[in-house]
Every structure is written in C-alpha cells, then in structure tokens.
Structure 1
C-alpha cells in the first residue's frame, strides 16, 4: 500500500496491525511528521517522500492507496473557504491512484467533507467518464468510539474499488452495549486499566534531549510514548479556573470574576471550552491544541471525588492513547509538532476496522 498525506502514520498503523498490508511508500509535507512515519514504518527513510505531493512523481505500483488530505479547509472549526488550496489536494490523491494502478483506495476526512462540493467532485471522478470511472465508491460515516478508541471522533471514509464492493466495517463497541458489542471504552479504562497505564500526576515540561537523522536533517526524537507524558506550567489564575470545573462542566460554570471579558459577552456556544472530561466516558475529538484547556474539553477527568484533583490539560501521551496509539509507536519533532501530529491522526482502531473490510475484498479477488 501507499499512504498519502500520511502524517504520523495513524492510517498505516491500523492497516499494518490488521496483518495483510505492507507500506511501500508514504508522502507527507511536514518533515517532523514524515520523520515519525519513517521511524515506525520505514527505518531507512527510503520510501518516505517528505515534500509537496505535487512533486511526487515516482509512484510505485500498489494494490491500495490510502490517505486523508488536510481537513482544515473542510472543518467546522475553519473558515470553510471554497478557494482554500487544501480543498484541492484530493485531485493529487486521484492522480496518484491512477498512476499507481491500485485496485482499491481509502480516502479519509472529517465528517463535514461529505457535505462539500469537493466530495461531489470526487464521487463524479468515479462516475461515467471520470478519471476513476472504473472504480465503484462507497461512503461510510464511522465513529472511532464504535471501534474501541476511547474517543468520540466521526470521520467520512470513502472506499473505491475496481474489484467489487467491501463490507461495511463492523462496530465492536457501542454507547449502549449489546450482545455483539462492548460498551464504549472510557478514559478510566484507557488510562488506568488498559495496556498503557499512565499515572495522573506529572511534573515534567520538556521532552528528553534526543535527535535522529532524517534524510540529512536532525529531528528531535525518536521519543517513546512515556516520554510524551509531559504537561505545561499553567499560571495561578488558570489553575484557579480549572479548579472550579467539575467533570462534564465547562466555562459556563465559572464565577463571573474568573471569566474572560469575551466570555462574559458571549454566553452561548463554545460549550466545550475549558471543559473537563469524564472518567466513565470516551473523550471528545482530540484536536491539535489539546494541551490548551481554553481550546476545548481537554481538562484531565480527575477532580476532587475519589482522588487528587488534577488541574491540567491532557498530556501528549494521554492524547495519543485517546487516539488509540500504544507504546510501539515512536514520535519525532518538537512538543508543538508532535501535538499537531496527534491531533491530525486517524485513530488506528478505526483504521484497523476499515483495513479488515478492504483486506477481505482484496483477498477474495486473487
């Protein structure tokens, strides 16, 4: 397979873990993210292209192309500008699918992508007379929590196939469990009972002093998951604010004297801002600035009841676990670069579920 807009390799991690796929190429513009990808799936760095996808011309023949173009142009958090250059990157995806002679492709993006003109153009490319006319496309709206990630994160998955349709990925978890599904994985299970147990109390603010060579450049890393269990030094006023927020609450529960002036003027909307997570629920969607409680519902779930009050945002390690990464995955870059990689990643448990469906079709076509 070939991974486009590969980021830190969340999609590839899920597909490789499924057991049927091998990465023979990856394209990623961000050098730190490309270094992370290479550290995990391409130790020599020979098949990781760190640059603009428009310059990627030596396309290998593959069975499958996977990828998720940058979503900021489509995201509800962005300006949703139709002219945003990032909204046109799907055309490069189409080009490489054709040049690779792939039998299938998997295109991942935010939930909102299915409502954009670009989505209709992509579907049209697979229609009569289109560049991908020999592909049949299927669209799935999938929630990572339904596949074992401790996070409610909905994504649009488009599967294109020249060899017949795939089965819809089968959820393994549900908000209300049933005979065939377990309950959604909670933060308590993910942080305290899962394969990666992370102690709530942390003091370190900096990553270890370490770097690797990536295609001639020194890049910070490669860091293990527990190296990322670091926090920020919050000022006293912030700590006082955080101490007022109980699990499930947000900025609306702050006394007036602790609210920012802009919050006093805007009493509706942004209900997740300065929000505290809950132990017995999955997290909300992890974003690239999860380490700033003022940006969303990212306060650690531990409050006074049942233990020490933890007044900080999620650490990088906790955010990675929420995405579904484990201790095998290595990380490269600065704190900010790694946070961006984590926030933009496809949850590996979701990717693995899609991989099962795709592998079933590819094996059946041999």
Structure 2
C-alpha cells in the first residue's frame, strides 16, 4: 500500500544510472522510487547516490521477490536487438534478448497498476516483441492491461538530442491507452515550440584543457569535464571540419591527413568525425561520445570532442545529478541512459491515466 494517498511507487528494473526514475520523479506527480535493479556496479552506485531507495546490484535472476510498486519501469538490455550489437555471438544475443522475460516475471510478481518498457526501436520489430503482444492478450496475469506502444523521439519532448526509443506502456483499468504522449516541441507539438538546441544545452558551461577532472566545481557540483589526450594531427583534422560537417569535409579539404581507410571508403555514414550545430539538437549520444571517430561528437566550435558534462546536458541530466565511476564507466552510464526529459513526458502521460489514489 502506498504510504500517502498521492504517492505512486516505482520499481526500476535494468535501471542503469536512473534516467527513467529521475524523469518520473521530476514529473512532480507523486512518483517515488522504492527499488532498483542494476547489474552494472558503477551504474548501481550512481543510482544509490541519487535516490533514497534500495538497489540490488546484481543479476535480476537472483531476486525471487520485489518491493511492492504501483508502476514497474525498465529498459532490458538492448544490445541483442540493436544493430550495434550484430557482431555478438548467437548465445550472447539470445541471453540479452531473454532478459525482457525477467522483466515480465517481475510484473507478474508485483502486479502493478502500470508498467513501461523502454528499448531500441528494433525491439518492436522482433520475434520477442511479437511474443510479448501475444502474451498481453492471452496470459491471465497480463490480459487485464490495456497497452500502447511506438517509437518516440526525445527531441519532441524538449531534450536537445535526436534520440529515438521504443516505448511500450501498459495500464490496468482503463478503456484504452492514448498514444503517443503529446509532443511539447518541434513540428508535432500544438504550440509549434522549436526544438531545444545544443546552444541552449551548453549555456553557462566553460571548459579548457586545464580543467579535466571529475572533481567538484566552485558551485559545489561535479565538473565532469574529462579531457582527451588528442594528438596534434587530430587537432589539425578537427580544424578542417565546419559546423555540421563530417569526415567527407576532411577528405575534400585535407586528403593528405585523412586516414587511408576513409579515403578508400568514399560513401557511408555522415556522422563519423561529425561536428554539431549550435542551432539544432545533437545527434544520438552513445557510450563513446568522447571519440569523434564514432559519431557526430565534435563541439560546434571548439576543436575537441564534447565533454562528459556536455553529453549529460544533451541527455537532459541536471548538473546536480552525481555520476559515480571512472571516465569510461560514467560515459557508458550517460550514453545508455533514458533521457530524463523523455522519461518525464512519459510519466506525465501515464499519470493522466492513473487515479491519484494509492494501490488497491
């Protein structure tokens, strides 16, 4: 039973650093995390640092029961479905793909009023998702839920980043689940409010190579301005890439310092060695955003990749959210997170379908 009439208790599975829970808590509609499960030790420590609830920092399979909750949240690992995970062996992919079944096990045990599954868009085209849809209408424990799903772009909800995620929402005791949540930004929004931009996200930030740490700044908040030891030739390459440019600009402007592998591949992705635009949202922030050769991660103006703090801002994490771990671990947490801004929009939409009273 919820402790107060308006409290909506959330259980976060495969919680990562806590992007989903943070977005729900910031919706200010009574959502309160009561438990999280996260196998990655650094991410689990980050969740513990920011939320006042128990965190199981091990495999979900170890748990035979969970805290009572009104809403179950979770993003089962997506590497098995993501194109970025296509090189994994078949057994590894199958093991990752099967974790959504552990999520459903928790739903059956907890019997929440609602649950939300977040994953890569490709999940919703998989055989596993087809099985989920079948279970939602045939399984005795699941067919009491109405559900809706689709791919949401975080930029449509005020996040300064183009990031598409597959969202599945199921709710008890409603006639239907309206979909999608109303957009607040961009051409899909009623007010036609423009997308949030990189420039807006970076407002107030300053960084120099001398400030390169995970310490505490003068304002008492984490710096997260990790630098990267960049070779002189890399700096020279960055200088040839204009705002919105990419490796093809380098190939045209300075073929003599372009890596041979790129010269021999005149077609392909336009994000590699890409520079952001000030006046647009960023591209998708992944776990190795500090490597420009992995995507569009060059600062719009400075000849360097974005810092961890800048990446966290693009993911819509507030500066008072504290990450725990080394630079690689923190980058992984940032890149894997559900943007709290997107999670907040999902929370508001779900809240509109729930009675404010506690659990039956």
Q: TM-score, normalised by structure 1?
A: 0.88
Match of 2:206 among 194, 199, 202: 199
2:76 maps to what in 1?
69
The one of 23, 29, 43 equivalent to 1:14 is: 23
Q: Which residue of 1 aligns with 2:157?
A: 147
Alpha carbons 2:144, 2:173 under 8 Å: kept: no
The question of 1:108 aligning with 2:118 is answered yes
Match of 2:12 in 1: 3
Runs of 5+ unmatched residues, structure 2: 1-9
* Residues 53-94 of structure 1: per-residue CA shift (max 9 Å, x gap): 111223122111000011111112220766411111000000
1:295 aligns with 2:269: no
- The residue number in structure 2 matching 1:172 is 184
5 Å-filtered alignment, 1:41-190, equals 41-42=51-52, 47-79=54-86, 83=91, 84=93, 85-129=95-139, 132-164=142-174, 165-168=176-179, 169-174=181-186, 176=187, 180-190=191-201
Q: Which runs of 5+ in 1 are unaligned?
A: 210-222, 303-309
Residues 323-357 of structure 1 show CA distances to partners (whole Å, capped at 9, x for unaligned) of 00112211101110000000000001100010011
Number of the residue aligned with 1:260? 259
Distance 1:177 1:171 in 2: 6
The residue aligned with 2:4 is none
Residue 346 (1) aligns with residue 358 (2): no
Does structure 1 residue 240 correspond to structure 2 residue 240?
no
1:108 and 1:224 map into 2 onto residues whose CA distance is 33
**Post-superposition offset of 1:135:** 2.1
**Are the aligned partners of 1:94 and 1:131 in contact in 2 as well (CA < 8 Å)?**
no
User: Does structure 2 retain, via aligned residues, the 8 Å contact 1:124–1:130?
Assistant: no
Q: 1:78 to 1:227 in 2, by over 3 A?
A: same
Q: Is 1:332 paired with 2:331?
A: no
**Matched residues in 2 for 1:153 and 1:224: separation?**
30
Cα 1:177/1:99, change in 2 over 3 Å: closer
User: What residue is the counterpart of 2:3 in the other structure?
Assistant: none
CA-based RMSD of the aligned residues comes to 2.0
Q: SS of 2:281's equivalent?
A: coil
Name the counterpart of 2:6.
none
Alpha carbons 1:224, 1:329 under 8 Å: kept? no
Other structure's SS at 1:183 match: coil
Inter-partner Cα distance in structure 1 for 2:220 and 2:83: 32
* Structure 1 CA distance for aligned equivalents of residues 123 and 21 of structure 2: 21
Aligned 8 A contact 1:224 1:330 in 2: no
Q: In the alignment, which residue of structure 2 is the partner of 1:311?
A: 303
Pair 1:179–1:353, CA change in 2 (3 A): closer
TM-score (norm 2): 0.89
